[in-house]
Structure 1
Amino acid sequence: MFENVKEIPGDALLALMVAFKNDPNPNKIDLGVGVYKDDTGLTPVLNVVKKAEAFLLENEVSKGYIGATGSPELGPLLQKLMLGDNHPLITESRIATAQTPGGTGALRVAGDLINAVNPAARIWVSDPTWSNHFHVFAGAGVEVRTYPYYDADQNGLAIDAMLEAIRQIPQGDVILLHASCHNPTGIDPTAEQWDQISTLVAERSLVPLIDCAYQGFGEGLEEDVYGLRTLLSQCPEALITTSCSKNFGLYNERIGALSLVTEKAEHCQRAFTQVANCIRANYSNPPAHGAAIVTTILSDHALRQQWEQELADMRQRIQRMRNELVSSLQSLNCNRDFTFIAQQKGMFSYSGLSKEEVLYLRAHFGIYAVESGRINIAGINDQNIGLLSEAIHQAIQQ
């Protein structure tokens, strides 16, 4: 069976992780891996998570299966987190949520669902987007196309080109939009641009698939779902993928969800059976522990408040490092304007660095970033920002 199997090139980001790990430079800096890091360079376990786990250790009574669509308590809590209490979609039973193994699992189930109910539909993703979007949807048998998103000359959103491309997407196709903290650019639409995008998506009768992986990491829990709520106010049908990896720090617990939005409640009930069928044919049941942690935190007032504060601390640290990086580069009289970095949202930034500059940083300073120039702002801290700024300044000069 395997004698003539061809080797597939490894994922570029995973290869970057290995190269960083093997680099003996004691001052090396990792700006590639897409996880939050604190000022000591560690990906911390939130204190509120430890409290929730201590509670579960004392009170958990079973390790039995939780069912194909996961924890029944989790879905309503995540719906309220995204939509707010008493949202019409909730009160009218037009939204249903299935727990999945991480946000990636949610995306794959969404792809399987699209292929099951409308195999002719294509999915349109931003150019650029998270690279794994292509693998996940292609693996589900869904054709993937792209629409313009990034304006390299302005280091901003290519809104006019984006809207024109949406006007050309065939009715019934699916369009993937990042709710906030766009990965990899860090560039989000303004409220006015979200209004334009939502109106056009509705006019074209497209189905939005809203990837909500970073709620709370941009401007705040409410602010980061403005685009999501605007889309749902205009589009009768939608899919939403959620991740708890970042805002709860639960990366290795693999906790996410897929929410299905329909025009009528009876449509929702029927379609949700298709979701369950897709899950049953894939991994059968999601893991329980991460869901129990999130459910415990969101259903307890004191724990919820503590979580919101710890989330705010992470968000504010990222924004502080954005501002300090810009200021540090300005103090070196760097002959390039980096002020746009302070306007971007979330962990990631399209820094404007060229491939050659990125490779120079890696070879001469042990600074690891993606060749597109995308950097993880959370990898910057008070100890390495001086070295990083000097290295960027030198790379530009060279």
Structure 2
Amino acid sequence: MLETLKEQPADKILALMQMYKDDPRDLKVDLGVGVYKNAEGVTPVMRAVKEAERRLVETQETKAYTGLAGDPEFADAMIDLILDGTVARDRIAAIATPGGTGACRQGFELVRLANPDAKIWHSDPTWPNHLSILKFMGMPAQSYRYFDEATALVDFDGMVEDLGTVAKGDIVLLHGCCHNPTGANLTAEQVEKVISVLKERDAIPMIDLAYQGFGDGLDADAATTRAIAGAMDECLIAASCSKNFGVYRERTGLLMAISAEAGQTKTVQGNMNYLNRQNYSFPPDHGARVVTTILKDPDLRADWEAELEEVRLGMLELRKQLAGELARLTNSDRYAFIAEHRGMFSRLGLPPEVVERLRTDHGIYMVGDSRMNIAGLNEKTVPVLAKAIVEAEKA
């Protein structure tokens, strides 16, 4: 049997990570992997996480299973963090998942269970794993225009035109904030227009919220999700704790399903529990318990929010520094968009051959479509990157 298996295509980002590790050069910069790093190149354990884990070690008395949906207190805490009362709690079903990826997968599974004919509409571009999962599941998918390569801004007219062709019952996959891979977000006015199109087409939004707190702040980054969830009868929300709590390896996520009426929630919850049972039975709990501990304790939450704000402001400063350095070297505002984008990523608009020269000639690693992780920089490597970009473009 096993001899019939064929090689699967390598994950481009994981392959890039290995190339970076194998590079013997002392001066090299990893801008590929989507993980937050501090100025020392370390993904730190947040102070509040360390303290919450210490408390768990001292007080936890069992490692018995949680329920199929995970700890209800985790769901309540996350729903409050993300929606802050925008939607009545009795309309929301929720399950804990292995990270945001698990939340996306279970969201797609729920769609397939409810409406096998539904098409998933996704932004062009989107997080590559969205497409990989949908392809593996054999679900119909269609892109809508989102990013204008020439301006590095949202192609909103194109987006609205494409969404105007969505069929009734189709799913429109949206990024809640800090769009991955472009860093270009919708404005509040644009979000309202998207809502009106969704209502007109009788489509259902699914929001991937992976970076709350990394853009403009916890509440500001939830504004799009709250606006859409509050305006629509139905909505799916896949949330990740990997970035804003720094618990990447704990695989901590949540899928929410908002029903039109509270009377539907019990059935929806039962179906979501069923999906968890079929895929991995009980979801992981340690990260969820850590997050719950932080969100329910005023002192821990205040410390977490303060450290998260330091992370956010640090990335904004790196954006401003890089945009300014490139403006100085090119004597143009061509890269001004870097300072306007939000989150860990920006897409620089460099052709593949320039990206390749950055790697081979300068030891700078970014994804082939020129998506770069801002958090892979520090104030010393920003000038190095800017100079390399200019040189690589001239070569």
Give the TM-score, by structure 2 length: 0.98
Written as runs of structure 1 = structure 2, the 5 A alignment for 1:355-366 is: 355-366=352-363
2:281 paired residue number: 284
Whole-Å Cα distance in 2 between the matches of residues 66 and 334 of structure 1?
59
Match of 1:21 in 2: 21
* 8 Å Cα contact 2:174-2:205 kept in structure 1: yes
More deviation, 367-376/228-237: 228-237
What residue is the counterpart of 2:105 in the other structure? Answer: 108
1:107-126 CA-partner distances (Å, limit 9, x unpaired): 11111111111101111110
User: Which residue of the partner structure matches residue 375 of structure 1?
Assistant: 372
1:225 is displaced (CA, Å) by 1.4
Matches of 1:61 and 1:377, distance apart in 2: 41
Q: Please state how far the C-alpha of 1:52 moved relative to its aligned partner.
A: 0.5
Which residues of 2 match residues 145-294 of structure 1 at below 5 A? 145-294=142-291
Q: In the comparison of the two structures, how many residue pairs are matched?
A: 395
Q: CA separation in 2, counterparts of 1:4 and 1:257?
A: 36
Structure 1 residue matching 2:253: 3-state secondary structure:
strand
Name the SS for the 1:281 alignment partner.
Answer: helix
Gaps of 5+ in 1: none
Amino acid at match of 1:316: L
Residue type of the alignment partner of 1:51: E
Q: Conserved in 2, the CA contact under 8 Å of 1:175 and 1:206?
A: yes
Equivalent pair of 2:86/2:230 in contact (CA under 8 Å): no
Deviation at 1:334, TM superposition (A): 5.1
1:87 pairs with 2:86: yes
Aligned-partner Cα distance in 2 for 1:61–1:96: 28
2:302 to 301, 305, 315: 305
- Alignment partners' CA distance in 2, 1:333 and 1:148: 29
1:123 counterpart = 2:120: yes
Does the 8 Å CA contact 1:149/1:161 hold for their aligned counterparts? yes
Deviation at 1:382, TM superposition (A): 1.7
8 Å Cα contact 1:35/1:43 also seen in 2: yes
Query: Match for residue 77 of structure 1?
Result: 77
- CA separation in 1, counterparts of 2:132 and 2:394? 37
Structure 2 portions without partners, runs of 5+ = none
Match for 1:18: what amino acid?
Q
Q: Is the 2:210–2:241 contact (alpha carbons within 8 Å) kept by the matching residues of 1?
A: yes
1:44-80 alpha-carbon deviations (Å, 9 max, x no partner): 1101110111111110100111121111110011111
Structural RMSD (CA): 1.1
Question: Per-residue displacement from partner, 1:142-196 (whole Å, max 9, x unpaired)?
Answer: 2121111011111100000100111101010001000000000000001111111
TM-score normalised over the length of structure 1: 0.97
Q: Cα offset for 1:234?
A: 2.0
Give the aligned partner of residue 322 of structure 2. 325
| 1:8-44: CA deviation from partner (whole Å, max 9, x where unpaired) | 1211111101100100011110000000000111111
